[in-house]
Structure 1
Amino acid sequence: MNKVKTYCWLFGINLFISAFTFGGGYVVIPMIKKYYVEEKQLFDEEELMDIAAIAQSSPGAIAINMSALAGYRVAGWQGLLISCFAAILPPLVILSVVSAVYSLIRDNRIISAVLKGMEAGVAALIVDLIIDMYALIIKEKQLFYTCMVPAAFILNYIFHVNVAIIIIGTLFVCIFKYQFFKVRA
């Protein structure tokens, strides 16, 4: 693709993804996978998961960070700026309109029903994402990482351990594992 076509594609696809994905950053991952990885093959699934990890650990909205990183990967700094602008534009316009007419729609049953339907769709997309991410972990064929996911789930769901504590704990466990095997090697 030439540069102008690439920039136009980045703007259009990020505008589309931002305008039609409701529910937060994790919903953006399957959309980026579909367009960047499967259709255009601009990078692979493993690189997408790396981008998702970086986007998660960076300050700001995950969806914006993902768009920026994917745009940077495809077209450098220009791609980053174009992707960011395209990802920010739809929420900005939608929130401006909603803010202007909020008093008219806040008690509308149809709007409430539409939002409830969107919640179900978002939940399905997040479950699909979790399955895809866990499949990538299983492909690594390392029992340690494969067992870490259900262990974290059990700690949170059954024993009600705070997610922040689980994340910090897994961080230290992974650092310890890395140091242990580095010393043995």
Structure 2
Amino acid sequence: MADIAQSSPGAIAINLATLSGFRVAGMTGAVISGIAAVIPSFVILVFISMFYVAFAANPLISEVLKGMQAGVAALIVDFVIDMCSMMVKERSLLLTLMIPTSFLANFIFEINVAIIFVMCCFICIVRVWLNERRQKKWGNY
């Protein structure tokens, strides 16, 4: 399971928690384990963000944050490249078109990224559901 978690996109700890939860309690266990793996980091980030103004006012921390922006930008570019290559390998026209459509929706039409993200998640969930339904239908014959 650790090998699968390392090979799939995303944080290894979250992937491993989700896979373990799925093995123990199915889809419910996967959802609960995934959420439980995210909660500690989320709480810490919420706490830090409440005091962000005080941190950013400190000149030393301000310079450190500026330096971290370059690292974050590099991580985002690496993530986008990995995500795009995985979507192209899937050889799905829908997933391949999702990349430029999302970019155009944000850049040209200025649609909020969160809305684009939710729509893409919804489309992918429907796609998986339809594929499973199709496999069950054809599996009966």
Displacement of 1:127 after TM fit? 1.0
Question: CA 1:69 to 1:140, structure 2 compared with 1: closer, same or farther past 3 Å?
Answer: closer
- After TM superposition, the score normalised by the length of structure 1 is 0.44
Displacement of 1:150 after TM fit? 0.7
Q: Which runs of 4+ in 1 moved over 6 A?
A: 74-77
Q: How do 1:54-69 and structure 2 match up within 5 A?
A: 67-69=13-15
Displacement of 1:73 after TM fit? 3.9
Tell me how far apart the structure 1 counterparts of residues 108 and 17 of structure 2 sit (CA, whole Å).
40
Partner of residue 175 from structure 1, selected from 111, 119, 126? 126
Amino acid at match of 1:142: S
Partner of residue 130 from structure 1, selected from 66, 75, 80? 80
| Number of equivalent positions | 114
Amino acid at match of 2:81: I
Displacement of 1:166 after TM fit? 2.9
* Deviation digits for residues 89-110 of structure 1 (CA, Å, limit 9, x no counterpart): 8x85xx79xx7xx96x654322
Q: Percent identity?
A: 32
Tell me how far apart the structure 2 counterparts of residues 176 and 162 of structure 1 sit (CA, whole Å).
23
Which has the bigger relative contact order, CA under 8 A and spacing at least 6?
1
Question: CA 1:124 to 1:149, structure 2 compared with 1: closer, same or farther past 3 Å?
Answer: same
Tell me how far apart the structure 1 counterparts of residues 84 and 59 of structure 2 sit (CA, whole Å).
38
Tell me how far apart the structure 2 counterparts of residues 153 and 88 of structure 1 sit (CA, whole Å).
31
Question: CA 1:115 to 1:152, structure 2 compared with 1: closer, same or farther past 3 Å?
Answer: same
**Which residue in 2 is equivalent to 1:119?**
69
User: Which structure 2 segments of 5+ residues have no match?
Assistant: 25-32
Q: Say which SS state the counterpart of residue 70 (structure 2) adopts.
A: helix
- After TM superposition, the score normalised by the length of structure 2 is 0.54
Q: CA RMSD in A?
A: 4.3
Displacement of 1:159 after TM fit? 1.1
Tell me how far apart the structure 1 counterparts of residues 124 and 14 of structure 2 sit (CA, whole Å).
30
Q: How do 1:52-131 and structure 2 match up within 5 A?
A: 52=10, 67-71=13-17, 73=19, 84=37, 88=40, 107-131=57-81
